[in-house]
A and B are shown apart, each in its own frame.
Chain A
Amino acid sequence: MNDINVGKTPLLQIEGLTKFFGGLRAVSDFNLSINSGELVGLIGPNGAGKTTVFNQITGIYLPTKGTVKFNGINLVGFEPHEITRTGIGRTFQNIRLFSNLSVLDNVRIAFHPQSGYSMFDSILSTSRFFKREQEIIEKAQELLEVMNLSRFQNEIARNLPYGEQRRVEIARALACQPQLLLLDEPAAGMNPKEIMQLMDMIHFVRENFKLTILLIEHQMRVVMGICEYITVMDFGEIIARGNPKEIQDNPKVIEAYLGKGAANAA
């Protein structure tokens, strides 16, 4: 790995991550190191194990082996909600909004761990409750405004157009106050114009919120366009890593994506 900041502790350091489902090896000996502020892509064909890596980072699956260090703390064994609270936000491949709730509520839910009042404050309607609620509303509205969603504030989430739903999901992830944002195929189902907008947005969010971003993507053009480093997986293993240029020319990657014969034919 051509890492510039040698010596500095990486924000996220994954070592030897392995996951078995029964006898099936979904991810094997996965290593990845991300420094603060980087935008890293993780690509690979369908079924390569990308989402499984995400699910292990966020604690939805317990890794069979390996460590996931975030800010120097090993996250393995933490519950998903605790991992989110340490500063990792994520979106989902197939949008998972709270579809019967309003857009504002969707974002407000993500503020729950930071609500700063207990259930008894809410039952007794203390002044702290009203103050914190107001703060949460303001923060949530600010996020919606940044994501250009203000006018949808009181809409029910499922009634929004697809692109807007993706943005709500990102707003919701940002509400978790993450240092690291995990985006799972954000461009899935988008047309080229929307993909352009999405890439703009990812840049914008990264600058404005000082985020480190790890991005799973299926479509090469998105990753090539915005990522600084790329890791390529196939069949649960890393087959290549480097900057977009190196990846583009890597024969192994072409083979993984197009198959052996296709690589030759191309």
Chain B
Amino acid sequence: MQSVSKPQKPPVIVSPNSFLAWIGKIFLLVIGLFAVYILAINLFDKPYLFAQNVINGIQLGFVYALIALGYTMVYGIVKLINFAHGDVFMVSAFVSFFAVERFALHQWPQRLFPGFNPSLSTVIGTVTTILLSMVICVLLAITIERVAYKPLREAPRIAALITAIGVSFFLEYFGLLNFVFSARYIPYQRPFEVVTWYIKDGIHLVESGVTPPDGAITISNILIIIIFATILVQIFLQYLVRRTKIGIAMRATSFDKPTARLMGIQVDKVISFTFAIGASFAALGGVLYAIAYPSIRTLMGVYPGLKAFVAAVLGGIGSIPGAFVGALIMGQAEAMTSGYISTPMRDAIAFSILILVLLIKPTGIFGEPEKEKA
């Protein structure tokens, strides 16, 4: 029996502080410095424009945060990239569109009771529209989970992933049919008027048909609503996960499914609930997104969905604050890229950031270090 042992050169072990190990860090540093440089010259060149970009980024980031929550919770609990989540977001926008356009649901109190206070009517009507979208999306998500994912729970994870892609495709291409939503961009009728202010020497209302003067920063009521809603959702979710029985059950299930089952937790119900909660937030995000960017189409959920997923990974998948922080970063990155580099590259930037972050910290910003493998 011959031996394959050959005298080998002792390996050169690259220590973490040697130049070779630093090459990669220098590379990152160069990229980072370049980004900082671009931001800095623009900040000093036109500070108000920079501030405007930051605000645009915040608006995007908060919407992404709403979608990212669903991804991070579902991944945390069943280790599945729920590709259809972005399409749930799209469905929500269309539900609210039909509710407003066809049934004028956003004004129902006034229509039922003429003489109802118009602004109160708008508020109640809009909230009803959002709730309707949320309910329909929750039903959709639970159906998807029951039909497509549940039978594959014990199958290899990739099988479920492919199913998720299948569901996503089905929703998209079904929506693309002409008698459904068609492939066109559809102007979205907002349930309420968007009011815009500009900030220059104090806060002023932007009159319709008047462009704000140069050097002004504009903000709108929808921005404030988005921020408010997202923060509310974050607080609610923290409360739900930390304090309620179902929240504890969710954490237990994500930690160890078989043990959770042994502890009397109805794992299937918990998983369905997670899908439902995620879908309801995505639905909220969908309506707000459509109000903020009032042009909707069947494929509108694809990119926001992917970016929200990237945001969830960025923040550390499975972590709720992580999804929020990741989404804010994504929003800023996107706004800055479209503001200062080139608008089309904003999709590319998202993924470049994802790859870089994963290479530096594979578990994301808030992710926990991996456990010892068996």
B372 within 8 A of A: yes
Q: Which B residues are in CB contact (< 8 Å) with A77?
A: 11, 13
Interface contact A22-B8, CB-CB below 8 Å: no
Residue-wise, chain A 91-131 has the 8 Å CB interface mask toward B (1 for contact) of 00010000000000000000001100000000000000000
B8 touches A86 (CB 8 A): yes
When distances are taken between beta carbons in the complex, the residues of chain B under 8 Å from A26 are 372
User: Are B3 and A22 in contact, CB atoms less than 8 angstroms apart?
Assistant: no
Q: Is A31 engaged at the interface, CB distance under 8 Å to the other chain?
A: no
Say whether B2 faces chain A, with CB atoms less than 8 Å apart: yes
| A177 interface neighbour in B2, B8, B10, B11, Cβ under 8 Å | B2
- Asked whether B369 is an interface residue with its Cβ less than 8 Å from the other chain, the reply is yes
Contact of A73 among B4, B8, B369 (CB under 8 A): B8
User: A114 to chain B: which residues have CB within 8 Å?
Assistant: 4
Give B1-17 as 1s and 0s: 1 = Cβ < 8 Å from A's Cβ atoms: 11111111011010000
Tell me the complex Cα distance, A209–B2, Å.
10
Q: Are A22 and B369 in contact (CB under 8 A)?
A: yes
Contacts of B4 on A, CB cut-off 8 Å?
Answer: 85-87, 113-114, 176-177
Which residues in window 57-109 of A have CB below 8 A to B? 71, 73-74, 76-78, 82, 85-87, 94
- Residue among B2, B5, B13, B372 having the largest count of chain A Cβ atoms under 10 Å: B5
Contact with B along A13-37 (1 / 0, CB 8 A): 0000000011000100000000000
Is A260 positioned at the interface, with any CB of B under 8 Å from its CB? Answer: no
A21 and B372: CB pair below 8 A?
A: yes
Q: Assess whether A74 is in contact with B10, with CB atoms less than 8 Å apart.
A: yes
Question: Are B5 and A86 closer than 8 Å at their CB atoms?
Answer: yes
Distance to closest chain B CB from A177 (angstroms):
5
| CB <8 Å contact, B3 and A87 | yes
Q: Does A179 contact B (CB under 8 A)?
A: yes
Q: Give B326-374 interface residues, CB cut-off 8 Å to A.
A: 369, 372, 374
- Contacting residue for B3 out of A74, A94, A179, CB 8 A: A179
Instruction: Decide if A221 is an interface residue (CB 8 Å cutoff).
Output: no
Q: Which residue of B lies closest to A76 (CB)?
A: B13
Please, which residue of chain B has its CB at the minimum distance from the CB of A52?
A: B372
Is A132 close to B, CB under 8 A?
Answer: no
Q: Does A210 contact B (CB under 8 A)?
A: yes
**Does A87 lie within 8 Å of B1, measured CB to CB?**
no
Determine if A179 and B372 form an interchain contact, defined as CB atoms under 8 angstroms apart. Answer: no
B117-170 contacts to A (CB < 8 Å): none
Q: Count A-side interface residues using an 8 Å CB cutoff.
A: 21
A82 to B9 Cα, complex, angstroms: 12
> Do A78 and B3 form a contact, CB below 8 Å, given A21-B372, A22-B369?
no
Closest to A21 in B: B372
Residues of A within 8 A of B5 (CB): 71, 86-87, 179
Name the one of B1, B8, B13, B372 contacting A210, with C-beta atoms under 8 angstroms: B1
B1 contacts A209, CB within 8 Å? yes
Given the complex, which residues of A lie within 8 Å of B10, measured CB to CB? 73-74
Chain B hits for A177, CB < 8 A: 1-4
Q: How far is the CA of A210 from the CA of B369 in the complex (A)?
A: 43
Main secondary structure of the interface of A (DSSP, over half): loop
**Bound form: Cα–Cα A85–B4 in Å:** 7
A114 and B3 alpha carbons, distance in the complex (Å):
11
What residue of chain B has the Cβ atom nearest to residue A84's Cβ? B4
A21-B372, A22-B369 known; A78+B1 contact, CB < 8 A: no
Give Cα A113 to B6, complex, Å: 12
Of residues 224 to 260 in A, which have CB atoms within 8 Å of B's CB atoms? none
Question: What are the residues of chain A within 8 A of B369 when measuring CB–CB?
Answer: 22
Interface residues of A in 182-196 (CB under 8 A from B): none
Contacts of B11 in A (CB 8 A): 77-78, 82
Kindly list chain A residues whose C-beta atoms are within 8 Å of the C-beta of B374: 94
In B1-35, which residues have CB < 8 Å from any A CB?
Answer: 1-8, 10-11, 13
Min distance, Cβ B370 to any Cβ of chain A, angstroms = 10
With a cutoff of 8 Å between Cβ atoms, the chain A residues found around residue B7 in the complex are 73
Contacts of B3 in A (CB 8 A): 87, 177, 179
Within A202-230, which residues are at the interface with B (CB < 8 Å)?
209-210
B24 to chain A, nearest CB (A): 18
- Give the chain B neighbours of A74 by CB distance below 8 A: 10
**Which residues in A have their C-beta under 8 angstroms from that of B13?**
76-77
| Cβ contacts under 8 Å, B6 to chain A | 86
Of A26, A74, A176, A177, most buried by chain B (CB within 10 Å of CB) is A177
Q: Which residues of B contact A94 (CB under 8 A)?
A: 374
Report the bound CA distance from A118 to B62 in whole Å: 54
Q: How far is the CA of A177 from the CA of B8 in the complex (A)?
A: 17
Q: Which of B2, B3, B4 neighbours the largest number of chain A CB atoms within 10 Å of its CB?
A: B4
Given contacts A73-B10, A74-B10, 20 further A-B contacts (CB under 8 A): A21-B372, A22-B369, A26-B372, A73-B7, A73-B8, A77-B11, A82-B11, A85-B4, A86-B4, A86-B6, A86-B8, A87-B3, A94-B374, A113-B4, A114-B4, A177-B1, A177-B2, A177-B4, A179-B3, A209-B1
**Interface positions of A (Cβ within 8 A of B):** 21-22, 26, 71, 73-74, 76-78, 82, 85-87, 94, 113-114, 176-177, 179, 209-210
Identify the B interface with A (CB < 8 A): 1-8, 10-11, 13, 369, 372, 374
Q: Please, could you name 10 A-B residue pairs with CB atoms under 8 Å apart, sorted by A?
A: A26-B372, A74-B10, A77-B13, A87-B5, A113-B4, A177-B1, A177-B2, A179-B5, A209-B1, A210-B1
